[in-house]
Chain A
Amino acid sequence: MHTQPLRGRCPIRAEVAQSPQGPRAPSGHRRWTGHRRQRPPRPRRRHSGSGCAAGAGGRDLTARPLPGPPRRVWQLPVGGGGGRGGGGGGGVRRAGSGMQPAQLGRAPRHLLVCERGHARHPRSRHAAHVRDHAYSCRVSFLIPECGLLPEVLKSTIADIGDYYLVRSLPIHELVAHEFIDAFVKKGSCYALTYKTKIDQDNTAALLPNGKLILSVDKDTYEELGLQGRPSRYSGKKVMRYIITIDLTDAGFHPESKKHNRVLWALKEKKPLEFDFLMAWYNTGAEGSTLMSYFSKHQIQALRPKITFSTLRDLPCPVLQSNDLQGKPEESCSTEELFEWLGAVLNQVSLDNKSSSFLSTYCCPEPNTVVEKAFLCTITGFIIPEKIIQLLEQLCCYFGEPKLAYWLTLTVHGFADSPVSWRESEHGFHKGGENLYNFVIFRNLDYWLQMAVGAHDDCPP
């Protein structure tokens, strides 16, 4: 039962994670409430994470380019950031150098967007955010103070359903009208290529709204003959192109020029073949299943892998649902929670023992030690509809009085999928993470954190 009236739009977009010193911090917040469709900053040479303020990484205030025409000035870092490399050894000339040693101390740009709202509010957008993120490879939830999973949750997890792996499927089969009528137009069909890297190979994905996205490299694009646009993260010499084909378009009927051209390109001009991961959410219509439709190809039904574990004596941060920033002695902020959760899900030990060489990470203060916590991980090709059901059941967990103050649900997207949220392009620079995390409180307030890596748009 929330007591504070929510102002304006339901989920309050409270902040975008900001760099520690950022004098840009207030403007970063304002920028994103107004302009959702803003382009991500191009990764410029001199500094990373401009515009959308990046989190983490020590940023030197002096290592920013001077205003005006870009001049290459040698700037000495204030705190001695990063290494100077072999500066002492070779005769490194100072004047007119284009290199800034402070760059070494920075991580590639990444973004964390935090939002809060109330799950039972009529205009709450939690379900919409889950639906926008089409491809998830891992779902895990953590419930503190819980030893045994309730039966309802167990049955929801068991109900997650199978996904299919089809080997060597030529892509023109997905453009065939029998497939479109049987699966794309009835229910939501999800398909993603398997074992293809987004920054090296050709990739294809079928979104539930009927759009087929092909992310192809330069050679394939020039041979294929379909119209696409250059990838945003490709740099000056374009090496990657994105082709979008709308299968549910009115102009895409069997005899149209568009359809014939697409079929000719994918079947005869440059036949492309991939292994696909597929899933179909049936809205009750009768008809064939994926298994029977692709029986001529090698299709395999796979069940998501589920693991349960109980963590003992886990320090958990104290959180206040109406305070995203956290107060120094009273509650933790969202970034601290995000980091702590990452450590727990990766089984990093949190006690900072002097004999440990791997990690000196400690649980953020203030925290309470929880006797037991339940962690469940589901790995596979999981569709958003099932995640929404799971989220609902987790909200109902607090229907009866429980010891826990909050629980978390984390969903990781595929690192190699061509899209992250809706149709915004996703690239892989040094890490292709695109994940979101719900923190649900006793009073059914929720926090939603969405994180993306370097070659990615800001999440909606």
Chain B
Amino acid sequence: MAGFADLNLPQGADKKSLQSLLEAAAHLGYSAVALNHVIDFKEKKQEIIKPVPPSELFPSLPIVQGTSKRIKVLTRLTLVVSDPSHCNLLRSTSANIRLYDIIAVFPKTEKLFHIACTTLDVDLVCINVTEKLPFYFRRPPVNMAIDRGIYFELLYTPAIKDSTMRRYTISNAISLMQICKGKNIVISSAAERPLELRGPYDVANLGLLFGLSEGEAKAAVSTNCRATMLHGETRKSACGVVYTVKKPRKVEEEETAVPACKKAKTQA
């Protein structure tokens, strides 16, 4: 069982509100959160900006309640795609995309859902909870996504705000459960205010309403989030096996370095 994580905290412009959100999350017991930057292609062409490292945004991170560790903050990018041409951004080797820890995609049509599950290089596929799903889920793309290690994300904050959205959240979640059988689900908030955050055990109980079993519901807030974060990390490496780290070069060593063959002769 991993620490609890909330992978969707919208990154507003206000630093103070973000700080209060972080403190609320740490107080509730989350060990990791991800600040979400949403790019919607329907609006005028938006540039993907470099993510600001959390250490610069927050000089001191709050301590998670009940432990003595500080909360971990990651960066996440969500692309809202409604057209196949929008996916080209992901395929291109844009430098800025690589800098985000987690990449998520929000498909609006069935064809895009299929593409996201089968070919796109993402960590999370967001499921719409605010309106009736325009398409039914089908087994082949969902199973392919599960095999590839992609997780489906459900939000719970819209359900807190409005009762119509509550019905859509539950019905969309249940129809997803019938296809994926409760595997590879991540439940997160999209809380803009600290009042909309809920504790991890409460969110796990909410998962029971969606049709998950007890173990799966708890995993949706802990183990699956950890798996998503690791999936994002492997994008910065070669197949998740080889990592490269930049080593600072020491200039003095360069000048006084003696070739190995010469060294042996002088010592002898």
Contact = CB atoms under 8 A, between A and B. Distances in A.
Interface of A: 43, 45, 48, 83, 85-87, 89-93, 96-99, 103-104, 108, 195-197, 199-201, 217, 234-235, 237, 239-240, 275, 429-430, 454
A99 B174 contact: yes
A97 B223 contact: no
Given A86-B166, A86-B167, A217-B2, A91 B66 contact: no
B181 A98 contact: yes
Contacts of A196: 67
A89 B168 contact: yes
Contacts of B130: none
Contacts of A108: 214
B218 to A, nearest CB: 7
Interface in B197-221: 201, 204-205, 208-211, 213-215, 218-219
Given A48-B214, A235-B219, A90 B178 contact: no
A197 B29 CA distance: 10
Contacts of A48: 214
Contact of A200 (B31, B166, B205): B31
Contact of B3 (A89, A201, A240, A429): A201
A96 B169 CA distance: 21
Contact of B213 (A45, A90, A217): A45
Q: Is the interface of B mostly helix, strand, loop or mixed?
A: helix
Interface of B: 1-4, 31, 66-69, 132, 166-172, 174-175, 177-178, 181-182, 201, 204-205, 208-211, 213-215, 218-219, 222-223
A177 to B, nearest CB: 29
Contacts of B182: 98
Given A86-B166, A195-B66, A200 B132 contact: no
B170 A90 contact: yes
A240 B1 contact: yes
Contacts of A86: 166-171, 174
B142 to A, nearest CB: 14
Contacts of B205: 430
B167 A89 contact: yes
Contacts of B213: 43, 45, 103
Contacts of A235: 215, 219
A56 B110 CA distance: 45
Contacts of B31: 200
Contacts of A200: 1-4, 31, 67, 222
Contacts of A201: 3, 67, 69
A89 B209 contact: no
A90 B175 contact: yes
23 contacts: A83-B209, A85-B170, A85-B174, A85-B211, A86-B166, A86-B169, A89-B167, A89-B171, A90-B132, A91-B175, A92-B171, A98-B211, A197-B66, A197-B67, A200-B1, A200-B3, A200-B31, A201-B69, A217-B1, A217-B2, A239-B1, A240-B1, A430-B204
A195 B68 CA distance: 7
B174 A90 contact: yes
A45 B69 CA distance: 34
Nearest to B171: A90
Nearest to B68: A195
Contacts of B204: 430
A330 to B, nearest CB: 39
Given A200-B31, A240-B1, A430-B201, A89 B170 contact: yes
8 A-B pairs with least C-beta separation? A90-B171, A86-B170, A89-B167, A99-B211, A86-B171, A199-B1, A200-B3, A45-B213
B267 to A, nearest CB: 31
Contacts of A197: 66-67
B218 A99 contact: no
A193 to B, nearest CB: 10
Nearest to B211: A99
A237 B204 CA distance: 18
Contacts of B218: 429
Contacts of B210: 85
